[in-house]
Structure 1
Amino acid sequence: MHNAITIDALKVLDAIERKGSFAGAASELFRVPSAISYTVQKLEDDLGIDIFDRTGHRARLTPAGRYLLDEGRALLDATDALAHATKQVAQGWETRIKIAVNSLLPMEALYPAIREFQALGVPVEIQLVEEVFTGAWDALQCRRVDLVFGADAMSRPAGQFMTRILGQIPFRYAVAPDHPLTRHQGPINEEVVSAYPAVVAADSARHLQPGTTGIFSRQRTITVSNIAQKISAQKAGLGVGWLPEPLIRESLASGELVELNVEAVRQPAVIHLARHQDNQNGELRCQGNALKWFWDKLSEPHQFSRWIDPHTQ
Structure 2
Amino acid sequence: MRASLDSVTLDQLRLFISVAEQGSFSAAGRQLHRAQSAVSSGVANLESLLGLQLFDRSGHRPALTEVGRTLLSDARKVLDDVSVLGARAANVGQGLELQLRLAVDTICPSGLLIASAKALRDQYPTVSLRVQTEVLDDVAAVVLDRSCQIGISGPVGSDAAGLERRFLAHVAMVPVAAPEHPLATIGRSISHADARSHVQIVISQRVATAADNHGVVSDATWLVADASTKLELVRAGLGWGNLPIDMVQEDLERRRLVRLTLDEWGAEPLLVPLYVITRRGSPPGPAGQWLVRSLPSLSGDCPRLMGAGVS
The answer to whether TM tops 0.5 is: yes
- 1:13 alignment partner in structure 2: 16
State the TM-score, normalizing by the size of structure 1.
0.73
Aligned pairs for 1:115-130 (under 5 A) are 120=123, 123-130=126-133
Q: What is aligned with 1:52?
A: 55
Question: Secondary structure of the equivalent of 1:64?
Answer: helix
Residues 1-313 of structure 1: matches in 2 within 5 Å?
A: 3-111=6-114, 120=123, 123-154=126-157, 160-166=162-168, 171-184=173-186, 187-189=191-193, 193=195, 196-201=198-203, 203=205, 205=206, 212-213=212-213, 214=216, 216-217=218-219, 219=220, 221=222, 223=224, 226-244=226-244, 248=248, 256-261=257-262, 269-278=272-281, 284=283, 287-299=284-296, 303=300, 306-308=304-306
Of Structure 1 and Structure 2, the greater helix share is in 2
1:197 and 1:222 in contact (8 A); partners too: no
**In 1, distance between residues paired with 2:84 and 2:184?**
59
1:246 and 1:31 map into 2 onto residues whose CA distance is 59
Amino acid at match of 1:150: S
Q: Displacement, 1:8?
A: 0.8
C-alpha contact (below 8 Å) 1:150/1:166 kept by paired residues: no
By how many angstroms is 1:18 displaced? 1.0
Query: 1:239 offset after TM fit, Å?
Result: 1.6
Structure 1 residues 209 and 37: CA distance shift in structure 2, 3 A: farther
Amino acid at match of 1:307: L
Aligned partners of 2:5 and 2:50 also within 8 Å = no
What RMSD in Å do the two structures reach over aligned CA positions?
3.9
Secondary structure at 2:108 match in 1? coil
Distance 1:222 1:212, change over 3 A: closer
Deviation readout 1:55-102 (Å, 9 max, x if unpaired)? 222222333333322211111112223333444444554344333321
TM-score by length of 2: 0.74
Number of aligned residue pairs: give it: 294
Paired with 1:305 and 1:51, the residues of 2 have a C-alpha distance of 55
* Pairwise CA distance, 1:108: 0.6
- Change beyond 3 A, Cα 1:102–1:277: same
* Residue type of the alignment partner of 1:221: W
Q: 1:268/1:116 Cα in 2 relative to 1: closer, same or farther (>3 Å)?
A: closer
Per-residue CA deviation, residues 117-137 of structure 1 (Å, 9 max, x unaligned), is 666576444454433334423
User: Take 2:250 and 2:65, find their aligned partners in 1: how far apart are those partners?
Assistant: 61
The 3-state SS of whatever aligns with 1:237 is coil
Over 3 Å counting, the alpha-carbon distance change for 1:57 and 1:81 in structure 2 is same
Q: The residue matched to 1:3 in structure 2 has which SS? A: helix
Alignment partner of 2:7: what SS? coil
Cα gap change, 1:63/1:141 in structure 2, threshold over 3 Å: closer, same or farther? Answer: farther
Question: For residues 249 and 36 of structure 2, what CA distance do their matches in structure 1 show?
Answer: 71
Tell me which amino acid in the other structure corresponds to 2:80: D
User: 1:18 and 1:195, CA in 2 relative to 1: closer, same or farther beyond 3 A?
Assistant: same
Contiguous gaps of at least 5 residues in structure 1: none
User: How far 1:143 sits from its partner (Å)?
Assistant: 3.5
Identity of aligned pairs, percent?
Answer: 24
Structure 1's 90 and 300: CA in aligned 2 closer, same or farther, altered over 3 A?
A: same
CA distance in 2: counterparts of 1:305 and 1:53, whole angstroms? 59
Residues in 2 aligned to 1:301 and 1:77: alpha-carbon distance in whole angstroms: 31
Structure 1 runs (4+) deviating above 6 angstroms are: 155-158, 249-255, 262-265
- 1:21 shift after superposition: 1.5
Instruction: Spell out, residue by residue over 1:281-303, the C-alpha distance to the aligned partner (whole angstroms, 9 max, x if none).
Output: xxx3xx42221122223346983
In 1, Cα distance between equivalents of 2:82 and 2:274:
42
8 Å CA contact retained: 2:140, 2:153: no
- Check 1:262–1:246 CA distance in 2 against 1; reply closer, same or farther (3 A cut): farther
